[in-house]
Every structure is written in structure tokens, then in C-alpha cells.
Amino acid sequence: MISIRNRRCPENADRGHRDEERLRLGPHRMSVRQEAVVPKSKVRKKTVYTPPPPKTARRKVSAPWVGPAIVVSLVLGLAWIAVYYVTEGAIPGMSTLGSWNLVIGFVFIIGGVALSTRWR
């Protein structure tokens, strides 16, 4: 089997030499005798950044009323909506509110979700 990789075409015979020259001299094709002029770096005026001291490993604890308030709010909102649907608004106080019963139930549920963001 003949390897195509090892064969050289006459048109590209000089290509390997040019690639070696480009790698050796870099992309600017400077002559070997010419030196690049590099500006001197400036002295740093700012002080070196020092990170703040580590914080204490004290755990944040929520108030003791937050957990029960979340549960009560979520259950009360769910119960309000369930009672409204099961009784079909037949309870005297709920019948005057009409569809606002859904708003009241969802306000309790949203309040429970908002309180849950305070839970630690």
C-alpha cells in the first residue's frame, strides 16, 4: 500500500522549507539579525489587592415563627379555594364575595411562598 502522506508533489517541493522558515522567524518574517524593540513596562502605582478576611462560619437562623407561618399560609389558601369549590359558594360569607374567593385563596398561597424565601 502506498502512503500518500510520504509522497511529495513537485509543485509543493519547496513548501516544507517555507513552513520551517515561517515557524523559525515568526509571523513578522523579521531577519535573524534585527532585534525587536520592546517598551519598558511601567511601575505599578496601585497597591496589590488583598482579599477581605474570611467571614465567620456562623449559620443564619430564621425566626421561629417563619416555618409555622409558611405552613399555615399555604394550607389556609388551599383550604379556602377547596371549600369555595366544594360548597359552590353556598356559605353565607363566601357567597357575597363570589369569584374573589379565588383571589383570597391565592393571596394566602403567594404569601406562604414569599415567606418561604425567608426560611434559613
For the segment 5-22, what is each residue's pLDDT rounded down to a tens digit?
555 555 555 555 555 555
Task: Supply the range of the domain harboring residue 105.
Answer: 66-116
Is residue 107 in a domain? yes
Is residue 11 in a domain? no
Q: Is the pTM of this model over 0.75?
A: no
Is residue 45 in a domain? no
Does residue 95 contact residue 64 with C-beta atoms inside 8 Å? no
Is residue 47 in a domain? no
Spatial neighbors of 81 by CB under 8 A, at least 6 apart, are 101, 102, 105, 106
DSSP state at residue 14: T
Does residue 105 contact residue 80 with C-beta atoms inside 8 Å? yes
* Count of structural domains within the chain: 1
How far is the C-alpha of 86 from the C-alpha of 105, rounded, in Å? 14
More confidently predicted of 85 and 11: 85
